[in-house]
Amino acid sequence: MFARMFGWFTRSLSRVLTRRRNSVETAPRAFQDLSRELRELAEIASRVWPEEQSFQNRIQNIRDEMDQLDELTSKPEFRLLPMKKRLELRESLLHSKTQLMDTVSTAPPPTTRPQ
């Protein structure tokens, strides 16, 4: 009896903690922070390949999308989005952040001369 009650308690506590973590991770402020980070990474990436026009267009698209995201998260309706959609959006943003970091880290050296 005690083991079953303890199991129920730990499962309930785990669900509450997961719900709490998800609500913090999908709060408007968390998306605004991610948006700012992506914008900063995009700025760095744009400096890495300044002459590559197609890449610069992609960077501009990222900036525009982050502006739209900031606008969306500032509205109260954002909180009405289902948790699943907000979690998917967060995962997508984290994936984009990883891709941008990979892009910056694989940039060619600015000069061909050895340092």
In whole angstroms, how far apart are CA 62 and each of 50, 53, 58, 65, 82? 15, 14, 6, 5, 24
Rounded CA separation 22/83 (Å): 8
Report the predicted TM-score, pTM, of the whole model to 2 decimal places.
Answer: 0.77
Q: DSSP code of 107?
A: P
Q: What is the DSSP string of 40-98?
A: HHHHHHHHHSTT-HHHHHHHHHHHHHHHHHHHHHTSGGGGGS-HHHHHHHHHHHHHHHH
pLDDT in tens, 73-111: 999 999 899 999 999 999 999 999 999 888 888 877 666
Nearest to 66 by CA among 35, 101, 28, 99: 35
- For the packed helices 28-48 and 53-73, what is the interaxial angle rounded to 10 degrees? 170
Query: pLDDT band at residue 115, thresholds of 50, 70 and 90?
Result: low
pLDDT in tens, 12-64: 888 989 888 888 888 999 999 999 999 999 998 888 888 888 889 999 999 99
